[in-house]
Structure 1
Amino acid sequence: MRRRTLLATVGAGLAAGCSESIPLLDPEETPSETDDAPPGPDTPPESPPTTTDEPTDSEPTDTTEQTTEEPTRAEREAAQLLARARTKLGEAHASYVGFAGGERATLLDVTVATEVNVAAVTNHVGAAQDALADMPRRAGGDQITAARRLRRLAAFYREAVRCQNALGDAYGEFEFVVGRLFADQTGLVSDSTATIRENRETAAGHLDTIEDESTAEDAAALDALDSGTYTAKVGQFRRAISAFGTLPATLGRVKRGFDAFRRGGDAYLDEQYFEARRAFETVGTELDPASDTLSSLDAPAPMTDAVDDLTAVSNTLVTAAVDLELAADAGTRGSRGDRQTAFADAQAHLEDATVAPDRLEIVRRLLRR
């Protein structure tokens, strides 16, 4: 407004005759109202010009998409691999449990007496391990944790079925030894007890690997398994391994005790009383400690009946051997009455036994005398 007043004043002066002294401005050179006017009190100061960097051909225009696309792809790939690993471990679990039979069977129903097929489990485990080996390094944190647990479960199933197989072989040898003992055919017992020992060591090695490479908490990664079953299965293995660690030496004592009783019985029936007395002395030396060990043995369930039978028969033979030793001693002294009385006591002990020892051929012969 002030500039317009000034121009009006100048115009008035020109009209008054001063037009010769003031040159006219070229219209193109007329300054704009804002070029020379100082900012007024109501006029905001001018802001510096804002520049926007134009994208160039060498720089990506969407940096967010560039940084998030690859992790998303990795997570999708990881999810697929984890699903495959879980499926294959689930199949390994089903194969393992399937050895026991029955719709409601669990891992605990697969015992030392169960025949297993190692490859039927380890083939599935191997496929699961292959899937886990391909896990992308940029998988999510939860996926990495899940993969770690599944790897440990793969180790559990791989070692568990191998441990189971070794314990099954040990149990087979145990059954063979018991059969040979009651058949008075003890020639191969020593070889079988050595095999039991070897299989026990093999099983113990697999159990060590299970406990080194997996934990009960890993069971949470697989729907088919829970921590309680994992813990109970490991305990089942430990119990069997402990029993098979004790049995070889104990079965060796039982063999020597049974052999001594047979030698003593044969000698007594042949009226070779000196030899009979020495043999019957050995029976208690071998069978007493063997019976004590067997009676306190925490044997796996399928073995308890056989162990109980061996314990009962061993106790009966020890008791009968005491009477037979007295009868043989009386025979060496020519005391017919004492010999007959002691022999009758031995027969009574053999006949009254809770578990009949007449599976032994020498016992049957003594009872018939």
Structure 2
Amino acid sequence: MALCFSINATTLPQHHHGKVNYRSNKKCLESVRNLVKTTGVASVVSAPQESLQKGNWVKLICGASFEDVVDVRNLSLVYTLAGVDCIDCAADASIVNAVNEGIEAAREIVYLRKPWVMISVNDDEDLHFRKAEFDPEECPLDCPRPCETICPASAISLQQHQSTTELSHGTEMLNVLKGGVITERCYGCGRCFPVCPYDKIRMAMYTRDAAATAELLKRNDVDAIEIHTGGRQTASFGGLWNDLGNSTGYLKLVAVSLPYAGDATISSMNTIYTMMEPHLPCLNLWQLDGRPMSGDIGRGATRESIAFAACLAAVKDKPHGLCRFAVLSFFATF
């Protein structure tokens, strides 16, 4: 086993800035260029596939549901300079464009080979693919708004406004709250759900469209896909894989993310690989979570990941491909 890393960049600064203008300060630009050169960033000399097979692959996780194009572009610029091998983002054309814009901006500063661009999709309900939602006008004016405070992505914003209400005897001006969830910034972490004192926040789950995903995969600036699946029912995975059709032939990596579901998990992994194999032209990677990680701020995730690793290590007929255990961040080649 070899050590590897993933960087989850969905916990963002509390203040939303515009695009990083790296050309505005020539002295700063030269300092960045010299820093990258003197630190010997691995991506200058090592291709992503080589890093993956050696076990020192580094992936930036922008978030399967995070769709703020400016922040995604800036993150991609910074982490390309830092030498990541892969940038994982939402399966949305505007987000893919933002990632590639950030990569190219970094390569204008100093020559680096391009990291892979990976899009994340799901075959059914999954915690990585959800958004918070609520009607701000249902919120009491005296609410302390803990949802605003706790949101790590500054994705909730509430302001008081005056609203005209029609009554039987005429009209009346009332103060109401406006705003709510900034959808493109919400990545479904779930922190706001339990803190709402009036139980107004709902969780909206969604599934990425297979046809739109297939079109993205045919682009020459998308290199990899991560498919999130439940691990118990393989039929939904098979349906998505069939819907993607020959679009997977353009890829350099197919990753499958699934949680530990007991003894049946290994069998499910083997079944999934059997489904993929006839149309799998590239490496496959198992992204193995003890349990789904998005918004999982409770205890026990590491223990479940360890249990998953122990289960897999004890199996003689191991699923084909590379494996990465979430939290532990270990790679093993089987």
TM-score, normalising length: structure 1: 0.21
TM-score, normalising length: structure 2: 0.23
By relative contact order (CA 8 Å, sep 6+), the higher-ranking structure is 2
Higher helix share: 1
